[in-house]
Amino acid sequence: MRGIHSATSRSFEQDPKYAIRLLVDIPIRALSPAVNDPTTAVQALDQIEDLLRRLGCRQHEAGYPRDAAGKIRVIFPVPTWQDYLALAFDEIRLCGAASIQVDRRLRAALVGLGETVAVDERRAAVQQYLDHLNLEIRQSSFDDQDRAAAQQEDRQGLGLSRKRGRA
Task: Give how many domains the chain has, as a whole number.
Answer: 1
Q: Is residue 137 part of a domain?
A: yes
- CA max distance for the chain: 63
pTM: 0.82
Cα four-point dihedral sign 7, 10, 11, 17: positive
Q: Is residue 5 part of a domain?
A: no
Q: Is residue 29 part of a domain?
A: yes
Q: Is residue 53 part of a domain?
A: yes
Domain that holds residue 141: 16-150
Encode pLDDT of 32-84 as tens digits.
Answer: 999 999 999 999 999 999 999 998 887 755 677 778 888 887 787 788 899 99
Q: Are 79 and 17 in contact (CB under 8 A)?
A: yes
Q: Are 157 and 39 in contact (CB under 8 A)?
A: yes
Tell me the CB-side half-sphere exposure of residue 78, using CA atoms within 13 A: 15
Encode pLDDT of 130-159 as tens digits.
Answer: 999 999 999 999 999 999 999 999 988 766
Q: Is residue 167 part of a domain?
A: no
